[in-house]
Amino acid sequence: MKRLIIPSFVLLLAVCMLAFRIGKTAILPAASGDTLLYPDEKHFKNIQQLTFGGDNAEAYFSYDGQWLIFQRTNPKEGIMCDEMFIGKLPKPGEKFTYKRVSTGKGRTTCGAFMKDGKHIIYASTHLGADTCPPVPDRKKYGNRYIWPLYDSYDIFMADLNGKIVKRLTKSKGYDAEATLSPDGNSMIYTSDKDGDIDLYIMNLKTGKEKRVTNTLGYDGGAWFSPDGKKIIWRASRPKTEAEIKEYKELLAENLVAPTNMEVFVADADGKNIKQVTHFGQANWAPAYFPDSKRIIFASNQEYKRGFPFNLYSINEDGTNLQKISHEKIFDAFAMFSPDGKKIVFCSNRNNGGTRDTNIFVADWVE
């Protein structure tokens, strides 16, 4: 929900929003024109649309770059809320085929392949109920985008046939938005188990973990850098008395309003935290370039009404902002392949005037 990680995409967050991965595309306007590639998108070459129809989000590469894991909702197919799928990356011109690897119960978010190539992790609410958890009544909150922190979310490990082999989190509350370190030994995830929405790093072998953020506000959608030396994530930082009051009141109801977020980085142990962006609005779904120096992220910074979202790159020190995707649509959840040659992202481009969000992959051109 790495991720405004969410199986709802406009402002999520996302969650694993994000990734909050940001919200349900059902609340997004239709894309402005059917095309795979817009003018000025000079970094994308040989772009290919992988999914067609429904809400498809948070598609992430396996360690060998051959597979994708993603979450999908499509009521027309009987998928009423996000379920987890995997598929092998097709050759140019071939059809992308995929299969479900979650239980088919509850809601899932934020999937990731493990380094052995034989297992995955993802968050799921299936222990709470077989059905999809209820969505918040946004009218109660002035029709703002509100993201639920379902306390039935826990993180699970499963094999590629969908058999759950281990439950990784057991605390009461929201545990989701997990990704793995480059060596595959550590998991970073988001939890509200200590009273705020913070990041934790768990050693997968021992189960020992460390809380790495301690500032009031939402911290989520975290990734390790490719060299394993740093972490990157999105965060809200309520500062005024009114902002803090609102944040705490929503949190007491297991809710968060992910409409004001910035990108942060730190050392892999959580030290030397630095804020990268200072744009206001929603800057989220960040990930490092393969060089572990530059950053790609989604943002609505150019549009005061909160939409569209485009992809941008930026240096760690906040310099050299460049716009990567163009046109007034939704582009987010970008991730580079391990070799840096390809990029996968989710977009509502080329959706036939519907509100569908699909997965796209392209060769990356510097």
Helix/strand/coil (H/E/C) assignment for every residue in the chain: CCCCCCCCECCCCCCCCCCCCCECHHHCCCCCCCCCCCCCCCCEEEEEECCCCCEEEEEEECCCCCEEEEEEEEHHHCEEEEEEEEEECCCCCCCCCCEECCCCCCCEEEEEECCCCCEEEEEECCCCCCCCCCCCCHHHHCCCCCEECCCCCEEEEEECCCCEEEECCCCCCCEEEEEECCCCCEEEEEECCCCCCEEEEEECCCCCEEECCCCCCCEEEEEECCCCCEEEEEECCCCCHHHHHHHHHHHHCCEECCCCEEEEEEECCCCCCEECCCCCCEEEEEEECCCCCEEEEEECCCCCCCCCEEEEEEECCCCCCEECCCCCCEEEEEEECCCCCEEEEEECCCCCCCCCEEEEEEEECC
- Residue 9 is assigned to a structural domain of this protein: no
* Bridge partners (DSSP) listed for residue 6: none
What is the pLDDT at residue 22?
35
What is the pLDDT at residue 307?
85
- Residue 351 is assigned to a structural domain of this protein: yes
| Count of structural domains within the chain | 1
Q: What is the pLDDT along the chain (366 residues), one digit of tens a residue?
A: 444 433 333 433 333 333 333 333 333 444 556 899 999 999 999 999 999 999 999 999 999 999 999 999 999 999 999 999 999 999 988 999 999 999 999 999 999 999 999 999 999 999 999 999 999 998 999 888 899 999 999 999 999 999 999 999 999 999 999 999 999 999 999 999 999 999 999 999 999 999 999 999 999 999 999 999 999 999 999 999 999 999 999 999 999 998 899 999 999 999 999 999 999 999 999 999 999 999 999 999 999 877 899 999 999 999 999 999 998 999 999 999 999 999 999 999 999 999 999 999 999 999
- Residue 1 is assigned to a structural domain of this protein: no
pTM over 0.85, yes/no: yes
What is the pLDDT at residue 145?
87
Q: Which domain holds residue 151?
A: 25-364
Separation in Å, CA 14 to CA 133, 151, 311: 18, 17, 14
- Residue 3 is assigned to a structural domain of this protein: no
What is the pLDDT at residue 314?
98
- Residue 58 is assigned to a structural domain of this protein: yes
Which CATH number goes with the domain that contains 331?
Answer: 2.120.10.30
What is the pLDDT at residue 32?
57
- Residue 68 is assigned to a structural domain of this protein: yes
- Residue 2 is assigned to a structural domain of this protein: no
What is the pLDDT at residue 203?
98
